Amino acid sequence: MKLHYYPGCTLKEKTTNLDESTYAAMKMLGYELVEPENWTCCGAEFPLNEEKIVGLAAPARILRQVEMEGGDKVVTACAFCFNVLKQTHIALLNDPLKQKRINAYLKDDIRIDPVTKERTTDFPEYRGDVQVLHLLEFIQKEIGYEKVRSLIRRDLGNLRAAPYYGCRLLRPKGETGIDEPDDPSIFEEFLESIGIGVVDFPFKQECCGSYLSVSLPDAASEVSYRILRSAKLNGADMVVLSCPLCYYNLDRRQDRIREKFLEFTGMPVLFFTQILAWALGVEAEILGLDQHFFDPRPVLGITDKAEVAS
Amino acid sequence: MNGNGKKKRIGVFVCHCGVNIAGVVDVERVAKALEGYSGVSFSTHYIYMCSEPGQNMILETIREEKLDSIIVAACSPTLHEKTFQSVIELAGLNPYQVEIANIREQDSWVHSDKEKATLKAIKIVKSMVEKVLQNESLEPIRVGVTRRALVIGAGISGIQSALDIADHGYEVLLVEKNPSIGGHMIQLSETFPTLDCSQCIMTPKMVEASRHPNIRILTYHEVESISGYVGNFKVKIRKKPRFVDPDKCTMCADCEDVCPQIVSDEFNMGLSFRKAIYLPFPQAVPGTYTLDIENCLGLLPIRCGKCKEVCEPDAINYDDQETVFEEEVGAVVVSTGYDLYDLNHLGEFGGEKYEDVINGLEFERILSASGPTGGEVRRPSDGKVPKNVVFIQCCGSRDPENHNPYCSKICCMYTSKHAMLYKHHVPDGNATVFYIDVRTGGKNFEEFYQRTIDEDQVLYVRGKVSKVYKEGDKIIVWGVDTLTGRKIEMEADLVVLAMSMVQTDGVNELLKKLRISSDANGWLSEAHPKLRPVESLNAGFYLAGCAHGPKDIPETVSQASAAVAKVGDLFAQEQLLHEPTVVPVDEDLCSGCGICVTICPYSARELDKEKGVVKVNEVLCEGCGACAAACPSGAAQQRNQTDDQIFSMVRAILRG
């Protein structure tokens, strides 16, 4: 079955392991992912300024492209992209005036083919009918946990994973989030369906430090450490998440965390699609497990090629 | 000409209402325009028609001009219709021969163009002339009163209501769904601001109620439905099987000793256990054991039957049945109380995950001398004496975005009391209160709160708590001190949440059946927020206690007594008068289609299958007119608001 999938820039650059494992896992679940043609950056942040709506143009253009290709829904694996696309969808759905103003930009689009230099104009308006789903939501609502359970090929029953939501999947509360921000359960349900043990820990919705790892790296590593420590205290073998920025802060920055907190011994951090693909029987080589700072292969029992990072 | 073929002599009185009307409408011109209009014999204007000189002018004019009906062009009829009805009654006319033409709320207050507003006023008055021309003289409908009251819910508000009604000399049915009367108040430890022991002041009331000859206590009973109308209700009451005969039970506890089923104890908020056959608490009224069938192993002696075996007075009857019976009452006091907002809604505080994060009622039980810890402050998880207790106020209250928008009103005071009592029990412990505001409006409340801070050294932190979680066996509280702007992270052994008060589960369904309205938050609505605070808009229903909104004990008791004063007003009347402007059925025209029966919101109409026509209970009819609008044959005509009258009014308006 074909399904529109918006990867987002980070998945093609810094976290190809999220992108590749998404393709692999969805293939096992019977879906062929289709990326909307000529997709651009989603904007990464949903503009909070109500008046300056030009920030909505990029995500709206992506949604229009899906609509032009005959799609009625688009899935994302990146929590950031999901958040921007979903908020854009809601903003336009509930505000016809906003939709009209955005379409005033979109209909003047000119696309110049980089090779042939051919100009395309006369784009249609965005009608607002494209549903935005995070892959976790898509699995819950459209694939169903029963089906996932029936396709599991590897037994992960001896492992315990701590689901880490971060903020983008859950907030703002209400229409945008995929679950109740203060008491979510969708990630836990997902992990249970792939047969891995689930750890409940109180920091699953706390901020990972976000962009502070650029401006105030010490502050970021402090909050990142709290999350990893709490997961470990509660008996987790790994943290599972869906956001590239959380991944960066929780995995790639473990070198800084170690420098600052000497008692920290490290913790594997995996994307939910990596653990899903692994459980579904996908080969380890295509999951990008070698890109992680803290090598997750030993905990998954992949010993032959283990090159534990320093 | 009116309906009877007699010529009417109508007087028109246009009011200035100071400048309220006259500032926009040219009242003189309105009065002039009505002179000589069909049926109008006299027309004038005056600055305040509702003033005594205004009323006297109307009275004298009626006599001098021999008027038989009048129109007062003034404010909305909700304000002064009664005034002018009594004026024309003094002149010997039927009160239904006065009509109010509303030229204030529907004209001068909503328009600024003087010319157009004046023309509109003329049209309004003319249309009322057309109506009055066909008005009949009506007599109010008279009905008797059953001088007996039903009180639903036997907490402090219900008990107080029942006692007051009984002392007035009327019979009362006091219905309580639980095995004992007492409500939440009997669960409390001590009460603010005097620190009276709650049980010590509550149990005398309970005993008094149980001994009062005019009160019939029906515990373990529920109200199924109420039909009828003010003064004449029929109540269906469901008796739940108790399986123990209260008259025979001696409370010897032999049954309890042998019962093998252990379940969580509701009276102690789940902090201790009880058996399936149990006494809710030692001072329970009636003093009898109750067999909780849901948790009993089974009534067949073959299954267990241990309690029946040991019961010496033979009080246990396994054949007890659920029964429904009907009673007649004239008035209903709704005193169903409150519930606490579910902790599950507060995921950021762990929901119900942590044993040592508890609500205020649980802490009351922990503080209570008769509670699960025997009056010592010990935390639920491991029974240790907590050395650091954090109290969080407004949990679910004053949070329109996520929870309830309203203030639960009593939490500031009981949290202050909790912190104070905790310090009395554990003088070397630390009590910290997180608050948004401290609201101490009440007699001696502020002094009490100051004492908590000054004498008992309770630390008050102004700010909200964002997260409560557990690390090891410590509870960690994250908050903010908004006065210094600093983040706070502190350890606690016990966290007490001042949970929002909410409407009792299931009450709203019952009330929908009774047609008592509730507000957006589920609390029962009073007839008028200032002037009729203890009556429901639905006649014959009265409100007492927290079912109407969060209240403390003194306020609840006051409201209960006030509601009973209103019940007394009702019972003091020989006969009740009902508005005669109802919608009868013209049996010659009625085809028996039954559309009006389904549309009537007051269940006043029913189909007489034998005759094939609809019958109307005129006492239930509130004259809303829904049936008259729906009736396809014109058989349903509202008195003094017939189709003919409405068409004449419309014609008058269109003519100008």
**B613-616: long-range contacts (C-beta < 8 A, 24 or more apart)?**
B613/B585, B613/B587, B614/B585, B614/B590, B615/B585, B616/B582, B616/B583, B616/B584, B616/B585
Cβ–Cβ gap B347/A202 under 8 Å: no
Q: What are phi and psi of A106, to 5 degrees?
A: -65, -35
pLDDT score recorded for residue A133? 97
Cβ–Cβ gap A233/B402 under 8 Å: no
**B556-605 tens-digit pLDDT:** 999 999 999 999 999 999 999 999 999 999 999 999 999 999 999 888 99
B482, B547: one domain: no
**For testing the chain A interface, which of B346, B467, B473 should be mutated: the one with the most A CBs within 10 Å?**
B467
Question: Which of B347, B467, B472 is nearest residue A183 as measured by Cβ atoms?
Answer: B347
Cβ–Cβ gap A182/B344 under 8 Å: no
Cβ–Cβ gap A233/B344 under 8 Å: no
Taken in order B260, B261, B267, B272, is the CA torsion positive or negative?
Answer: positive
B435, B371: one domain: yes
Q: Is residue B554 part of a domain?
A: yes
B200, B227: one domain: yes
Topology of A2-132 in CATH? Answer: Glutathione S-transferase Yfyf (Class Pi); Chain A, domain 2 (1.20.1050)
Q: Which residues contact B199 (CB under 8 A, 6 or more apart)?
A: B186, B283, B368, B370
DSSP code per residue over B438-465: ----STTHHHHHHHHHHTT-PEEEES-E
Contacts of B347 in chain A (CB under 8 A): 180-184
Q: Is residue B612 part of a domain?
A: no
B283, B211: one domain: no
Q: Is residue B648 part of a domain?
A: no
B437, B508: one domain: no
pLDDT score recorded for residue B3? 46
Cα distances (Å, whole numbers) of residue A242 to A35, A201, B570: 19, 17, 67
**B280-334 tens-digit pLDDT:** 999 999 999 999 999 998 777 667 889 999 999 999 999 999 999 999 999 999 9
Q: Is residue B398 part of a domain?
A: yes
CA distance A227 to chain B (A): 12
pLDDT score recorded for residue A307? 45
- Asked if residue B425 has pLDDT above 90, the reply is yes
Mean pLDDT of B7-15: 94
**Cβ–Cβ pairs < 8 A, chains A and B:** 20
**A187-197 tens-digit pLDDT:** 999 999 999 99
CA distance B499 to chain A (A): 17
CA distance B483 to chain A (A): 24
What is the count of structural domains for chain B?
Answer: 4
Task: Classify A211 as helix, strand or coil.
Answer: coil
Whole domain around residue B285: which residue ranges? 254-310
Question: Which of B347, B470, B471 is nearest residue A182 as measured by Cβ atoms?
Answer: B347
B358, B437: one domain: yes
Write the burial class of residue A141 (CB in 10 Å: 0-12 exposed, 13-18 middle, 19+ buried).
exposed
* Residues A51/A110, Cβ–Cβ less than 8 Å: no
> What's the pLDDT band for B515 if we cut at 50, 70, 90?
confident
d(CA B107, CA B101): 10
- B107: CATH: 3.40.50
Residue B433: name the closest of B468, B393, B473, B399 by CA: B393
* Mean pLDDT, all residues of chain B: 94
* Residues B307/B275, Cβ–Cβ less than 8 Å: no
Cα distances (Å, whole numbers) of residue A273 to A20, A243, A244, B195: 9, 11, 12, 60
B470, B358: one domain: yes
Contacts of B471 in chain A (CB under 8 A): 202, 230, 233
B284, B364: one domain: no
B491, B518: one domain: no
Is the ipTM, as predicted for this complex, more than 0.85?
no
- B347: CATH: 3.50.50.60
B354, B465: one domain: yes
The residue out of B472, B502, B532 marking a domain boundary is B502
Domain pair A2-132 / A154-300, same fold: no
Task: Classify A217 as helix, strand or coil.
Answer: helix
Q: Which residues contact B400 (CB under 8 A, 6 or more apart)?
A: none
Percentage of chain B surpassing pLDDT 90? 91
The residue out of B571, B597, B627 marking a domain boundary is B571
CATH number among 3.30.70.100, 3.40.50.11810, 3.30.365.10, 3.30.2140.20, domain A154-300: 3.40.50.11810
Mean pLDDT of A11-18: 95
Domain ranges of chain A: 2-132, 154-300
Lowest mean pLDDT segment, chosen from A168-177, A221-230, B368-377: A168-177
Question: Which of A181, A182, A202 is nearest residue B470 as measured by Cβ atoms?
Answer: A202
pLDDT score recorded for residue B6? 58
Cα distances (Å, whole numbers) of residue A175 to A47, A137, A166: 17, 13, 17
CA distance B399 to chain A (A): 14
> What's the pLDDT band for A309 if we cut at 50, 70, 90?
very low
**For testing the chain A interface, which of B464, B469, B478 should be mutated: the one with the most A CBs within 10 Å?**
B469
Tokens of B325: 């019976």
Distance of CA A121 to the CA centre of its chain: 33
**B124-147 tens-digit pLDDT:** 999 999 999 999 999 999 999 999
Could you tell me if A174 lies within 8 Å of chain B, comparing CB atoms? no
Instruction: Give pTM, 2 decimals.
Output: 0.84
Q: Write out the H or E segment, with its range, that includes residue B589.
A: none
Q: Is residue B88 part of a domain?
A: yes
* Mean pLDDT, all residues of chain A: 93
pLDDT score recorded for residue B247? 94
**A218-256 tens-digit pLDDT:** 999 999 999 999 999 999 999 999 999 999 999 999 999
- Plot region of B146 (φ>0 → left; ψ -120 to 50 → alpha; else → beta): beta
CA distance A175 to chain B (A): 14
Cα distances (Å, whole numbers) of residue B253 to A204, B245, B249, B606: 49, 14, 9, 53
B360, B496: one domain: yes
B82, B152: one domain: no
DSSP label at residue A284: G
**A260-307 tens-digit pLDDT:** 999 999 999 999 999 999 999 999 999 999 999 999 999 999 976 544
**B211-246 tens-digit pLDDT:** 999 999 999 999 999 988 899 999 999 999 999 999
